[in-house]
Amino acid sequence: MLIIGHRGARGYAPENTLRSFKKAVGLGAQGVELDVHLSKDKKLIVIHDNDVSRTTRGKGLVSQITLEEIKKIDAGSGERIPTLEEVIDLLAGKNILLNIELKGLGTVVPAVKLIEQKRITNQVVISSFLYNKLRIAKNLNPKIKTGILIRKLPRRLADFLKLAKTHHADGFHIRHNFLKKKYLAAAHQNNLYIWAWTVNSSREIKKFKSWGVDGLITNYPDRAL
C-alpha cells in the first residue's frame, strides 16, 4: 500500500511548499499529493486554493498574480510558493510518486507537457474533480495514470464503475468517510485502484490497511508507516 503525503507533510510543515515535500520524503512517504493552478503569466503554481490568502501572507487570486509577484509572498515559515517544475526537480531521482491534482483552468495541457519534458510519465498520477481534465490528459498521453476525485460515492455500483470508463481513468481517490468495502472490491475486480483521503487517525489507517486499499493520502506519513 502506498503512503502519499497530503500537500507534502501538511501536519508538520506549511502545505504545498518545498519544505513540506522534503518533510514527507524524510518521513518515508512513497508519494506526495499537490495542487496546481495557473498564474497570471501562465506558470504552473503549486497551491491548493485559487486565492493565496488562506495559506500565505498575501492576498488575491492566483490567476491575477504573476510568478514574480507570487515568489515574494511568504507561504509560512519563510517558505515560498513553488512552481510545479520546482517540485518535480526537487523529487527527481528519488523514486517518489507525484499525485498532481489539477484545479485551475488551463492547467492540463501545460502540466502534461512538463511531465513529458521532465520524462516522469511513469512517476505521475493526475487527479481532479473536473473529470474533463482527466480525459484531456489521457488523450494527450495515454501512458499517464489518472484518478477520479470523489467526495461522495454514487448510490449504484454500476454508476461508480461507469465514471472510470467514461473518463478513461485508472482509479479513484475517495474521501475516506465515504469509502465502502463493496466499492473497493468492485474497483479491484475491474482493475481499478483506490486511494483514500485524507486519512490521519491511527484507527482509520489500520482499518484501511486491513481493507486492502491501494493508497492512503495523509497529513502524517509517519503514522501510516
Q: Of 6, 37, 173, 176, which is the active-site residue?
A: 6
For residue 88, is it within any domain?
yes
For residue 171, is it within any domain?
yes
Active site residue 173: no
Structural domain of residue 7, as residue ranges?
2-37+83-224
d(CA 12, CA 24): 9
Amino acid, single-letter form, for residue 215? G
d(CA 148, CA 76): 30
Q: What is the CATH number of the domain that holds 18?
A: 3.20.20.190
pLDDT in tens, 7-63: 999 999 999 999 999 999 999 999 999 999 999 999 999 999 999 999 999 999 999
For residue 66, is it within any domain?
no
Q: Determine the pLDDT at residue 107.
A: 98
For residue 200, is it within any domain?
yes
Looking at the structure of the chain, the number of domains it has is: 1
For residue 48, is it within any domain?
no
Model confidence at 6, pLDDT cuts 50, 70, 90, reads: very high
For residue 71, is it within any domain?
no
Q: Determine the pLDDT at residue 93.
A: 85
Q: Of 37, 48, 167, 173, which is the active-site residue?
A: 48
pLDDT at 92 over 90: no
pTM score, two decimals?
0.97
Active site residue 167: no
Burial class (CB in 10 A: 0-12, 13-18, 19+), 48: middle
pLDDT at 110 over 90: yes
